[in-house]
Amino acid sequence: MIEEAPRLLFFALMRELTTGAHVRRPQVRILRGRRIRIEADREIPYGADGEVDAVLPVTVRVLPGALRVLC
């Protein structure tokens, strides 16, 4: 989760995703769970595999060991 961050920091974090360096930044918070609900105070689109076809809120369930997920 990226809390409030300037736009330039957001793009720097996106570049760091491939190496995992983003997890050491204080603006990044890592949470884990088998079932999570993501919601916001406004309508935000989301999708999977590059397809954006819905808006928050969403509840997702991950089967342990079945898939590595990067949010």
Examine residue 69 and state whether it is found in any structural domain, yes or no: no
Mean pLDDT, rounded, for 7-35:
88
22 and 46 share one domain: no
Mean pLDDT, rounded, for 4-12:
84
Examine residue 1 and state whether it is found in any structural domain, yes or no: yes
57 and 42 share one domain: yes
23 and 1 share one domain: yes
pLDDT of residue 35: 92
40 and 27 share one domain: no
pTM: 0.56
The residue segments making up the domain with residue 57 are 34-64
pLDDT of residue 4: 77
Examine residue 59 and state whether it is found in any structural domain, yes or no: yes
Examine residue 70 and state whether it is found in any structural domain, yes or no: no
Secondary structure string (H, E, C) spanning the chain: CECCCCHHHHHHHHHHCCCCHHHHCCCECCCCCCEEEECCCCCCEEEECCEEEEECCEEEECCCCCCCCCC
At 27-56, the pLDDT tens digits run: 898 888 889 898 999 988 987 777 778 899
